[in-house]
Structure 1
């Protein structure tokens, strides 16, 4: 499609994946992302693709491993508890250097929690989640259009770096409807000479593996992974800055929370307060440079999350303790209002950022 259409966030992700060349989907229903699975069940047969509802999330992620190892563009999706079940498989995928897209439409927790939007999976997504030294590339959209754009980007980054990419949304973004444009055309195909897809003229088969029994070989593999992660950190940081040039207080938020924060920022600006916003788009690699820059000019930061406080740790690290980092969060699926954030802004500004 080349013109804007009204789509629900979950369905827009699925159609964007199709436009990006995804022809293999393995998943399991869980609210509030089930529409992705439902959409793919209908869409994949239409394009000669493969859809399979696995018997569990654990099965689904291992099917992703197999398809990615054969060179396919492949995707799975779930919500918080389901992604927890996928963690061992994600570590195997990262260790075997296989490209795939994993979508997490976050819900409230811990445990079974609730089906309302939350951001309590930040640590899980950005700090590994599974075992061993590895990283997912983590993309955080704040609109249905960005869910589309970052889905396409996610597949490209996964192939470029042979690494799992996680699209981290939430129940609000997954369920809301907005006009989107999904560009169709030539798919960015990447040659995958490493894939286990037959000999193709070779005399020895490709082996997909993450097992290294000799410690010196495993360390060599880990060192190579870390070199790749350093390249990703150097090349793939993404963020958005709004009204930061003269800002005394910098709001830091991602996903749906950043949209609420934007409204509160506008209200504060109307009241004469110099407030700006820094929105991380890549949660890993975390965009440290703009934080270090703004820590020299702003008086304080206010981190806003639908959690008890997780991204705030990365904000504190990125600012090197140069300025106070305040926090305001809601949990359990509760959403802050722009008025509540404005009141928090006013409280901080009245003390000039704690000074």
Structure 2
């Protein structure tokens, strides 16, 4: 299949369909509305389930039910809608069910605005709902990468029996780019869903019960330790990141998603001014790519964190870096997108001007 020019939300929807998504449940909210709109037509054409629910709370509980029955299931929303889904997401994680959740982030807090933001970073990476749980969270920087990661994310969710969050912002949701849907993506080795509450009692199989309620504290403790072992595996074996222009770097930018694309342009401008700047681009924001910070060249003294929020990733950078470098921050909020020249100015201030 040749590359096709598509809007971000529609391309992400098609990627999910191609990944075998069997059911979608969601509720409209800007700037992700084109995603469920696309699903409303094309899921039906493919004999799959689409439901526009009466609320975000209803949608996530429908996801819970479909996932419990063993279906490949997706929901999408934007920041305030994701906030409403947090209780259900905690239930899904606590019940060890696979699901994919797309968050097309907008400015907040509260209703905020409909422009792009990365203000949900802490909500995404810290769980958001109650209890000790995490989402395997991917932050693509382009529409092609978003499509590829969504196609893979259903396997990741099935492998870990855990929700997977695709964290994009309104820029990626609304932009148009050429996309190749035939890109090969990693295939995970998956076990049959013998745990599913799907009514299958063949071959003497026992009745399955899906549950996150454990009244015996010792039993609940063991359940939590089991979940922790899964998250520890994610941290140990499944960090993803990209290192850009790091060989000659004298200063490093750390940025994810759309912001890292802007940082790439900043690096080119800085090079014209005699400053070699590298980029650490987290692809997984949980697990955070701590291993990337072990690869920083010895001559680097400063890291500039750039985000579309007030500095939510800064603590993770400092912890991953183990306080080896000076960590600075530059961000724009409220739906304002930082320009490459603004980042260049910040880097120049750090290194003492053009060379």
Pick the TM interval, shorter chain: over 0.9
Question: Which residue of the partner structure matches residue 348 of structure 1?
Answer: 350
How many angstroms does 1:153 deviate by?
1.5
How many angstroms does 1:108 deviate by?
0.3
How many angstroms does 1:126 deviate by?
0.3
Match of 2:242 among 222, 240, 250: 240
Are 2:100 and 1:93 equivalent residues in the alignment?
A: no
Per-residue CA shift, 1:170-225, capped at 9, x if unaligned? 00100000000112999977521110111233352011000000000000000011
Q: Distance in 1 between matches of 2:267 and 2:73?
A: 39
Q: Distance in 1 between matches of 2:122 and 2:320?
A: 16
Aligned length: 351
Are 2:228 and 1:229 equivalent residues in the alignment?
A: no
SS at match of 2:303: strand
Unaligned runs of 5+ in 2: none
TM-score by length of 1: 0.96
How many angstroms does 1:35 deviate by?
0.5
Q: Is the 8 A contact 1:19 1:183 kept in 2?
A: no
Q: Distance in 2 between matches of 1:185 and 1:21?
A: 15
Q: Is the 8 A contact 2:135 2:162 kept in 1?
A: yes
Q: Is the 8 A contact 1:268 1:342 kept in 2?
A: yes
Q: Distance in 1 between matches of 2:193 and 2:148?
A: 23
Change in Cα spacing, 1:346 to 1:262, as seen in structure 2 (3 Å) is same
Match of 1:205 among 207, 215, 221: 207
Question: Which residue of the partner structure matches residue 262 of structure 2?
Answer: 260
Q: Is the 8 A contact 2:247 2:297 kept in 1?
A: no
Match of 1:310 among 283, 302, 312: 312
Q: Distance in 2 between matches of 1:291 and 1:185?
A: 28
Q: Is the 8 A contact 2:57 2:88 kept in 1?
A: yes
Within-5 A mapping of 1:1-355: 2-183=1-182, 191-198=192-199, 199-294=201-296, 296-350=298-352
- Runs of at least 4 residues of structure 1 off by over 4 A? 184-190
SS at match of 1:31: coil
Change in Cα spacing, 1:118 to 1:184, as seen in structure 2 (3 Å) is closer
SS at match of 2:202: coil
Q: Distance in 2 between matches of 1:245 and 1:227?
A: 35
How many angstroms does 1:246 deviate by?
2.0
How many angstroms does 1:48 deviate by?
0.4
> Which deviates further from its counterpart, 184-193 or 242-251?
184-193
Per-residue CA shift, 1:260-280, capped at 9, x if unaligned? 111011100121102100100
TM-score by length of 2: 0.96
Q: Distance in 1 between matches of 2:101 and 2:262?
A: 26
Per-residue CA shift, 1:214-238, capped at 9, x if unaligned? 0000000000110111111122110
Q: Is the 8 A contact 1:292 1:320 kept in 2?
A: no
Q: Is the 8 A contact 1:250 1:298 kept in 2?
A: yes
How many angstroms does 1:295 deviate by?
6.9
SS at match of 1:201: helix
Q: Distance in 2 between matches of 1:172 and 1:285?
A: 24
SS at match of 2:328: strand
How many angstroms does 1:310 deviate by?
0.3
Q: RMSD over aligned Cα, in angstroms?
A: 1.7
SS at match of 2:151: helix
